[in-house]
Structure 1
Amino acid sequence: MQNQIKRKIEIFTAGCSVCEPMVEMVKSMACSSCEIVVYNLSQPCETKECLEKVQEYGIKALPAVAVNGSLLSCCQNNGISMEELKNAGIGQAA
């Protein structure tokens, strides 16, 4: 039995009508090798982990997606694209 490597997908959202379709798109593309964590920044997280990650990744706009600890380039400027998500391996078994 092979040990399957998980892909950690972190989604940063404001819980708004602009963010929710993107959250659903990422979730619909995810595969069994994907672990999804959604941080809704409109609701403070108890541990402050979400705010620390926003600073660590340099997130300037929402929605945003990080895969395996790296903010996707589509989230650094013009928004999230399906092509960038695919290039990051989302939806593909490891």
Structure 2
Amino acid sequence: MSTKRKIEVFSAGCPACDDTVQLVHDIACESCEVAVLDMHDPVVAARAKALGVRSVPAVAINGALAGCCAGRGPDANSLRQSGIGRAL
């Protein structure tokens, strides 16, 4: 029995997302099943949130965020350290 690696690319259709979609397709092999998911779809957005997606593009492999995609995205502490919320 042959199983496939399930790869989900969460995309908003922007140029950065398109580059990631192309990269995934370029490096995928016959063991990879690639699905490009549109973050404008509420069902896709809910799936992304459940996986911990905080910014796009993002890639999940077999239901887990790829290391390059985990833990990234804006957070209040980092934004405050950059000056947001402090008077000039």
Match of 1:30 among 14, 25, 28: 28
Of stretches 8-17 and 68-77 in structure 1, the one that deviates more from structure 2 is 68-77
List alignment gaps of at least 5 residues for structure 2: 74-88
TM-score, length basis structure 2 = 0.74
List alignment gaps of at least 5 residues for structure 1: 80-94
Aligned length: 73
TM-score, length basis structure 1 = 0.69
User: How far 1:17 moved relative to its partner?
Assistant: 0.8
User: How far 1:9 moved relative to its partner?
Assistant: 0.1
Residue in 1 that maps onto 2:84 = none
Q: Which has the larger radius of gyration?
A: 2
Query: How far apart, in 1, do the equivalents of 2:50 and 2:67 lie?
Result: 15
Aligned-residue identity in percent: 40
Stretches (4+) displaced over 3 A: none
Match of 1:61 among 35, 55, 58: 55
RMSD (CA atoms): 1.7
